[in-house]
Amino acid sequence: MRSFSWRRGRWFGTVLLTLALTGLLALANWWLPLAITDFAGGRRVVGLGTIWETFFARLPPAAPGILGRAPLLAGLVVALFALAYIIVATLRLPE
């Protein structure tokens, strides 16, 4: 039986906290309202989800595959995880 390792325990804690923060960021990225400035310079408040939906609905058709809906959606999930990891891992850096 392997003995408990503080280093493995620390890594596990970082992963759990990162996943939790990723969930929070994903919720915020969908539900948070934001005051936007549109093309004509007008101001209004919309949900972040609306901004992302509009972005994905109007992606430039001439763009290469990596700028398609599926890769960018997958990328967004990875990016949220990466941002959460940056914050959690920075807080939990060894002294």
Partner 1 sequence: MALAERTEQQDRRAREHVTALPAVTLAPARVWPRLRLSARGAIIAALLVFTLVKQLVLVAAYPPFQGHDEVGHYGNLWTMEHFGRLPTLSDNMPVVLDPYSMYTLDWPAVYTANHPPLYYLLTYRIMRAAGSDAPEDLLPRLYALRLASILPFLLAIWLTYLLARVLFPRDTFLTLTAPAAIAFGPQLSFEGAIINNDILSILWGALILYLCAAALRRGLPPWRALALGVALGTGLLVKATLTVFLPLAALVAIWVRWPRPWGAIRTRAYWRGTLGAAAAMIVPALAIPAPWYAYLHRTYGDFSAFTAIQNLQAAWNVPAGTFGELLLSKEFHLERIRESVGYYGWKLIPLTVWQERLVHGAIILCGVGLVIGLGRVAWGWRAGRRPETVQVAGVVLLLLAALAMYAATIYFGTMFLLTQARYFFPIAGAGAILGLLGVRALLPDRWQRPAAALTIAAFAAFNLWLMLGSVLPYAFF
Binding site for partner 1 (CB under 8 A): 11, 34-39, 48, 51, 54-55, 58-60, 62-64, 66-67, 71-72, 75-76, 78-79, 82-83, 85-87, 89-94
- Considering beta carbons, is residue 1 or 62 the nearer one to partner 1? 62
**What contacts 24+ positions apart, CB below 8 Å, involve 23-32?**
24/84, 25/80, 25/83, 25/84, 26/77, 26/80, 29/76, 29/80
- Considering beta carbons, is residue 3 or 78 the nearer one to partner 1? 78
- Considering beta carbons, is residue 27 or 34 the nearer one to partner 1? 34
Alpha-carbon span 64 to 87, nearest angstrom: 32
Nearest distance in Å: CB 82, partner 1? 4
Helix or strand or coil: residue 24?
Answer: helix
